[in-house]
Amino acid sequence: MSLSGKIPSHVGVIMDGNGRWAQLRGLPRAEGHRVGAERAKEIIELSAEIGIKCLTLYTFSTENWQRPSSEVSMLMRLLEIYLKKELSVLVKRGIVFKVIGEIWRLPENIRALVEETEEKTAANKGMTLVTALSYSGRNEIVRALKKAVASGCDVGELTEDTFSRYLDTEGLPPPDLIIRTSGERRLSNFLLWQSAYAELYFTDTLWPDFDRAEMMLAIQDFQGRERRFGAIPVRTNAS
């Protein structure tokens, strides 16, 4: 499968369906998360190959802290394994690693690995891989406003552009495309401010089954959209 149109600059992915994938196969939820982590590596690799400049993966929401402690611990362990194993790969491929969210809530060992990975990939020139950890869009907006006030910013003079500088995604382009797997059709608190004009793509495919071919279908669907950003459609002479 080839791509002939415009490649989205920034793609956000809500990776949903690991638990249901495991349940359908009579497997523990942990196995669904493990396979889902392997799938994420595949999609990261493909995204870098086809020229996506920024890929943001919704990995762990603030709401996910409410899950059973055993599942949270398992998810943190998977993240730890990924960061330890993939740091050299990220460096080799020139990928910049960045985390958004309430990083202070993460276990100390995870925070240390996150900081190390961000530091060692900061000088890379390739795709930026953003991992949303302990993240929610509403929480980010509230934190951004608090940062703006704390910095002495005159709230009365605040504009959309200046406010964006206080968001976790400061310096990154807004997402062109948001993908959600597993049949759910909502953003679930993901990049609420940034996705105002993003194209949305929903698929019934569960995340562990969202392979390279599925990703290419999502990109092709995006390429068939007419993005107007509030303007009127462009009409040809024939129309």
In order of their start, the domains of the chain are 10-136+174-222 (3.40.1180.10)
**pLDDT less than 70: residues of the chain:** 1-2, 229-239
pLDDT tens for each residue of 155-213: 889 999 999 999 999 999 999 999 999 999 999 999 999 999 999 999 999 999 999 99
What is residue 228's predicted lDDT score, i.e. its pLDDT?
A: 73
What is residue 2's predicted lDDT score, i.e. its pLDDT?
A: 62
Beta bridge partners of 132: 58, 100
Only one residue has tokens 């996150």, namely 114
Is 109 a residue of the active site?
no
The one catalytic residue among 64, 124, 209, 221: 64
Closest CA to 130 of 170, 98, 176: 98
DSSP state of 174: P
Centre a 10 Å sphere on the Cβ of residue 51 and count the other Cβ atoms it contains: 12
Closest CA to 22 of 14, 13, 31: 31
- pTM for the model stands at 0.93
DSSP structure string for 153-202: --GGG--HHHHHTTSTTTTSPPPSEEEE-TT--S-TTSSTTTTTT-EEEE
Percent of the chain whose predicted confidence (pLDDT) is above 70 = 95
What is residue 211's predicted lDDT score, i.e. its pLDDT?
A: 97
Cα separation of 206 and 203, whole Å?
8
The one catalytic residue among 16, 139, 168, 176: 16
DSSP state of 207: G
Is 189 a residue of the active site?
no
φ and ψ of 173, to 5 deg: -70, 155
What is residue 36's predicted lDDT score, i.e. its pLDDT?
A: 96
What is residue 33's predicted lDDT score, i.e. its pLDDT?
A: 94
